[in-house]
Structure 1
Amino acid sequence: MSVNISEYIEQDLESRIRSGSDLPDRLTLSSIAGMYDVSLTPVRAALDGLIERKLLVKQENGRLQLGATARARSPRAKSAPRPMPPVDHDAAIGREIILLSLRQHGLQDGVDPFVREEAMAEQHGIGRSLVRSTFQRLAGGGLLEHVPRCGWRVPRFDQDEMDAYLDIRETLEVKALDLGRASLDPEDVERMIEGNGAPAVQRGAIDNTLHAYFVKQSGNRYIEAFFASNGRYYNALFDYAALGARVVAEMAAQHVEILEHARARRWAKARAALGHHIQSQRPVMEAMIASVRQGD
Structure 2
Amino acid sequence: MSIANYIKDDLAARLRSGKALPMPLTLGSLAGHYQVSFTPVRTAIAELLEEGLLKKGANRRLAPATTPQTSAQGRSEVELPTPPRDYYQEIANDLVQQSLQGDSIYLREELSAEKYDISRSAIRHIFHRLAGEGMLDHIPRHGWLLRPFRQEDLQDFIEVREVLERKALDLAKDKLETQVLKKMLAANSLAKSSGDRPTVDESLHGYLITTAGNQYIRDFFERQGRYYQLLFQWEDHDEAAATETVRQHQSILNALINKDWREARKSLSHHICNNHPILSQIRSTTAGPRHKRVPSED
TM-score with structure 2 length normalisation? 0.73
Conservation of the 8 A alpha-carbon contact between 1:176 and 1:223: yes
Q: CA deviation at 1:138?
A: 0.5
Match of 1:260 in 2: 254
* Of 134-143 and 182-191, the range deviating more from structure 2: 182-191
**Shift in CA distance, 76/30, structure 1 to aligned 2, threshold 3 Å:** closer
- In the alignment, structure 2 segments of 5+ residues that lack a partner are 58-62, 285-298
Aligned-residue RMSD, C-alpha:
3.8
**Deviations 1:127-160, CA, capped at 9 Å, x for gaps:** 1211110000000010100011111001121112
Query: Residues 161 and 184 of structure 1: is their aligned pair in 2 closer, same or farther, counting only changes over 3 Å?
Result: same
Q: Is the 8 A contact 2:135 2:147 kept in 1?
A: yes
Inter-partner Cα distance in structure 1 for 2:186 and 2:123: 36
Return the alpha-carbon distance in structure 1 between the equivalents of residues 15 and 46 of structure 2: 17
Question: Structure 1 5/86 Cα, relative in aligned 2: closer, same or farther at 3 Å?
Answer: farther
Find 2:125's aligned residue among 123, 127, 133. Answer: 133
CA distance in 1, matches of 2:85, 2:198: 18
Deviations, residues 77-124 of structure 1 (Å, cap 9, x unaligned): 85665431122211111111111111125xxxxxx6111222222222
Matches of 2:197 and 2:83, distance apart in 1 = 16
**In 1, distance between residues paired with 2:118 and 2:107?**
16
Q: Which one scores higher on RCO, CA 8 angstroms, separation ≥ 6?
A: 2
Rate the CA distance shift 1:188–1:37 in 2: closer, same or farther, 3 A. Answer: farther
For residue 98 of structure 1, what is the aligned residue in structure 2?
96
1:281 pairs with 2:275 = yes
Return the structure number with greater helix share: 1
Q: Could you say which residue in structure 1 is the equivalent of 2:225?
A: 231
How many residues align structurally? 271
Q: Counterpart of 1:10 in structure 2: which amino acid?
A: D
Confirm or deny: 8 A CA contact 2:102 2:149 kept in the other structure.
Answer: yes
User: Which residue matches 2:289?
Assistant: none
Pair 1:63–1:216, CA change in 2 (3 A): closer
- How far apart, in 2, do the equivalents of 1:121 and 1:25 lie? 34
Q: CA deviation at 1:288?
A: 6.0
| Corresponding residue to 2:138 among 132, 146, 149 | 146
The Cα offsets for residues 139-191 of structure 1, whole Å up to 9 and x where unpaired, read as 00101000111110011211122222212322332232123212223343234
> Counterparts in 2 of 1:18-57, with a 5 A limit?
23-24=20-21, 29-30=25-26, 33=30, 35-36=33-34, 41=42, 42-43=44-45, 45-46=47-48, 51=53
Identity over the aligned pairs, expressed in percent? 30
Is residue 176–residue 215 contact of structure 1 (8 Å, CA) maintained in 2? yes
CA distance in 2: counterparts of 1:240 and 1:148, whole angstroms: 31
Q: CA deviation at 1:231?
A: 2.5
Q: Is the 8 A contact 2:15 2:21 kept in 1?
A: no
Mapped partners of 1:209, 1:76: distance in 2: 30
Distance 1:58 1:30, change over 3 A: closer
User: Is the 1:180–1:217 contact (alpha carbons within 8 Å) kept by the matching residues of 2?
Assistant: yes
Aligned counterparts of 2:198 and 2:143: Cα–Cα separation in 1:
35
**AA in 1 matched with 2:83:** P
Unaligned runs of 5+ in 1: 106-111, 291-296
Q: 1:46 to 1:246 in 2, by over 3 A?
A: farther
Q: 1:220 Cα shift?
A: 4.0
- Report if aligned partners of 2:151, 2:283 keep a CA contact under 8 Å in 1: no
> Contact (CA 8 Å) 1:261, 1:267: kept in 2 or not?
yes
Name the counterpart of 1:183. 175
State the secondary structure of the residue aligned to 1:29.
coil
